[in-house]
Amino acid sequence: MAKEFQSSPVGHEISAVFHGVGKKFLIDGKHIKKVLLDGLNIDKFGIISIASHDFKPKGHSTAVLLSESHTSIHTYPEHDSLTFHIYSCRRPGDGKKTFEHLKKTLNPEFIDFKERNVIVSRNHL
């Protein structure tokens, strides 16, 4: 996908907490990062750059700058949970395929799911 991208006047944001994720996933930063990147590829996002960090003694963060904005994931092995956020200026309702890939792969017990359209053009207010 091309790195340059014409933004939509209305983007979309998903913010979710996955509760009850298996410890084996939460302590494996390399795997979590791969699951996120696989989701982004399935969703045809353009990846510009990736920043990752493994915390000590545990926990992993990855933030990805996208042609279409950004996404991130943070794991909390001490709480059996992770947070996922994606904001895309590609179109309203965007990012669902990435979210669904994470949900299917990481199989949480339940999810606190929030989403909203983000209006960036005053003509659409």
Binding site for a copy of itself (CB under 8 A): 3-5, 7, 9, 11, 13, 15, 17, 19-20, 48-53, 55-56, 59, 61-65, 69-70, 72, 74, 76, 78-81, 83, 85, 87, 89, 112, 114, 116, 118-122, 125
Percent helix, strand and coil across the chain, each rounded to 5?
30, 40, 30
Closest CB to a copy of itself among residues 24, 123: 123
State in angstroms the smallest separation of the CB of 35 from a copy of itself.
17
Q: Is 74 a catalytic residue?
A: yes
Q: Is 89 a catalytic residue?
A: yes
Residues 6+ away with beta carbon under 8 Å from 106: 18, 21, 22, 25, 35, 82
Q: Is 60 a catalytic residue?
A: no
Tell me how far apart the alpha carbons of residues 63 and 73 are, in angstroms, rounded to a whole number: 7
Kindly list the catalytic residues: 69, 74, 89
